[in-house]
Structure 1
Amino acid sequence: MRVAVTGVASGIGAAACKILKERGDEIVGFDLNEPPENIADNVDEFHKMNIADLSALPELIAGLSGNFDALLNIAGIPPRSQSDGANAGNEALVLVVNFFGLRKFTELMLEKLVDGAAIASLSSRAGSRWAENIDQVKEFMRLPETTNLQEYCGQNGIDPVRAYDLSKEAVVVWSMAKTEVLLKRDIRLNCVSPGGVSTPILEDFVEAFGAERVNRMTDRAGRSCLPEEAAGVAIFLISPESKWVKGYNIYTDGGAFAMITSDQLELSEFS
């Protein structure tokens, strides 16, 4: 397969490239940062991309040669703690990178994807409350891409943590909404929702969400998810073995979502 992968320079994206390369796929990678040499060896073609620069995406994608069999949307950023002076208040950037950029990149890439292609996007367990927050999610998804997101966040009390959750909720909701439209071309769109992942940005999540929130479910699950484990599920979702999986969101969190749901529904007596 010829696979487009965003976020290839580190973490889950880098792990995905390694797995894909080992199985003989061709990888076209995209990232704001140049991948280090050990990762670059797994990428056949690299394009520097700032996914937050929505106006630059059409020209970038129009310039790509050939077609693609699959797309892995892995690029994303964490919330930055408001106490982190240099990076405080990145809520607007979180929204544009994690959702607006992902959505626009995917919509533009549809012209490059062959019929029967598959797309897997990285969401998060942090987006699991999309149904409870559906009114806000839909309001956010309706915003024009020219919206001043910093102003929008200020008016709606959206801090970096809520922005992260909202962006991941929107990825899940948009993937479901898009599913039927893509059936005419037999293109599949699914999501992967890890919990905490052992990547360099895990500490950002600890600082933003708080150690108690991050560690509570990690401790119950036994450990954090490994990058290659999250990447493996994403790759499964673009592989022929999952061809009848469409519009679905798979939690890759060591059972944390199941444990949370069991707690909420008081299911312990049945365990």
Structure 2
Amino acid sequence: MNKERRKIVVVGAGSGIGAAAAAHFHDQGDHVLAVDVREHDTLATERARCDLRDATSIRALLDRIGPGWDMLAHVAGVPGTAPPADVLTVNYLGMRLMAEGMLPLLRQGGSIVAVASTAALGWDQRTGLLTGLLELTDAHAVAKWQAAQDPDYPVYSTSKQAVILYGKRLAGPAWTKYGVRVNTVSPGPVETPILTDFEQTMGKDVLDMCRATVGRHATVDDIVPVIDFLGSPAARWITGQDIQVDAGFINSMVAGAPVQL
């Protein structure tokens, strides 16, 4: 059976999971617009540049690409080694503006899949605090909000917690008004060029413990099929969910003593 050719926007397609996702969809025969802040040669149908720190840049991209898309795969993000305001602006606000701008450009039955992180563990315990962040829609206000937070709490975790909570709060209205599903994917550590940045901010010992627990770090090929599935018609009844893709590491922390076999 021939698979219907889809039109997919992949944001953050210059490297890592985003580049792998764009190439994966392209290899399947989909029409892929690969978007990144830098020039890149990712395998895709067409390419574009966009700076997620700049709402004007996001708007210009959306105005240029027009409607008729089937999926937004929003993979872009910066690690905690970046300036705190940039971490929140790119990882949360840029994703939000891109998602909201894409909604009217997506066909009914379309989907948005945003990449979060298992570093967002505990997001459900911070919904009161995060609600204040989710009320903000411009980079200056987001930076001001972050400046008032506990400097010892990892801003990367905050940014990905906001992605998950925002995705869940967007899912209902997106489904009702546009017929579009919204889900997030939370990988554990992945072998990508920014893994060393995570070792700096989260601690190499923590990442080594994670690897020892589950046997290895993930590869992009472990993550991309989940993004594909959530964006596909096979997941047509799934929305508002965060799917952890970490070989069960978070489960081992929160589920209590394992069953003995």
**TM-score greater than 0.5 by the shorter chain:** yes
Q: Is the 8 A contact 2:12 2:35 kept in 1?
A: yes
Structure 2 CA distance for aligned equivalents of residues 188 and 149 of structure 1: 26
Match of 2:221 in 1: 228
Structure 2 CA distance for aligned equivalents of residues 201 and 250 of structure 1: 21
Match of 1:14 in 2: 19
Q: Does 1:106 align with 2:107?
A: no
Residues 22-51 of structure 1: CA deviation (Å, up to 9, x unaligned): 211110111011223xx2xx2111111101
Match of 1:268, SS?
A: coil
Structure 1 CA distance for aligned equivalents of residues 182 and 225 of structure 2: 16
Deviation for aligned residue 1:76 = 0.5
Structure 2 CA distance for aligned equivalents of residues 218 and 139 of structure 1: 35
Residues 110-157 of structure 1: CA deviation (Å, up to 9, x unaligned): 121111101110000011211111111111111241534444333222
Deviation for aligned residue 1:198 = 0.2
Deviation for aligned residue 1:200 = 0.5
Match of 2:236 in 1: 243
Match of 1:63 in 2: 64
Q: Does 1:168 align with 2:160?
A: yes
Deviation for aligned residue 1:60 = 2.0
Structure 1 CA distance for aligned equivalents of residues 7 and 39 of structure 2: 20
Match of 1:77, SS?
A: coil
Match of 1:84 in 2: none
Structure 1 CA distance for aligned equivalents of residues 259 and 67 of structure 2: 56
Q: Is the 8 A contact 2:133 2:145 kept in 1?
A: no
- The one of 89, 103, 110 equivalent to 1:117 is 110
Q: What does 1:71-90 align with in structure 2 at a 5 Å threshold?
A: 71-80=72-81, 90=83
Question: Could you say if the C-alpha distance between residues 146 and 198 of structure 1 is closer, same or farther in structure 2, counting changes exceeding 3 Å?
Answer: closer
Q: Does 1:267 align with 2:257?
A: yes
Alignment root-mean-square deviation, CA? 1.6
Match of 1:15, SS?
A: helix
Deviation for aligned residue 1:270 = 5.4
TM-score, normalising length: structure 2: 0.92
Match of 1:208 in 2: 201
Q: Does 1:35 align with 2:40?
A: yes
Residues 78-124 of structure 1: CA deviation (Å, up to 9, x unaligned): 011xxxxxx5xx11100000000000011011121111101110000
Q: Is the 8 A contact 2:52 2:94 kept in 1?
A: yes
Q: Does 1:254 align with 2:247?
A: yes
Q: Is the 8 A contact 1:91 1:158 kept in 2?
A: no
Structure 1 CA distance for aligned equivalents of residues 240 and 30 of structure 2: 24
Match of 2:3 in 1: none
Q: Is the 8 A contact 2:181 2:240 kept in 1?
A: yes
Q: What does 1:150-169 align with in structure 2 at a 5 Å threshold?
A: 150-158=143-151, 162-169=154-161
Structure 2 CA distance for aligned equivalents of residues 180 and 156 of structure 1: 29
More off after superposition, 132-141 vs 6-15:
132-141
Match of 1:126 in 2: 119
Residues 156-215 of structure 1: CA deviation (Å, up to 9, x unaligned): 2235x6211011111111111111112222210001000000000000000111112222
Match of 2:111, SS?
A: strand
Residue segments in structure 2 that go unaligned for 5+ positions in a row: 1-5
Question: Could you say if the C-alpha distance between residues 149 and 183 of structure 1 is closer, same or farther in structure 2, counting changes exceeding 3 Å?
Answer: closer
Deviation for aligned residue 1:56 = 2.5
TM-score, normalising length: structure 1: 0.89
Q: Alignment identity in percent? A: 27
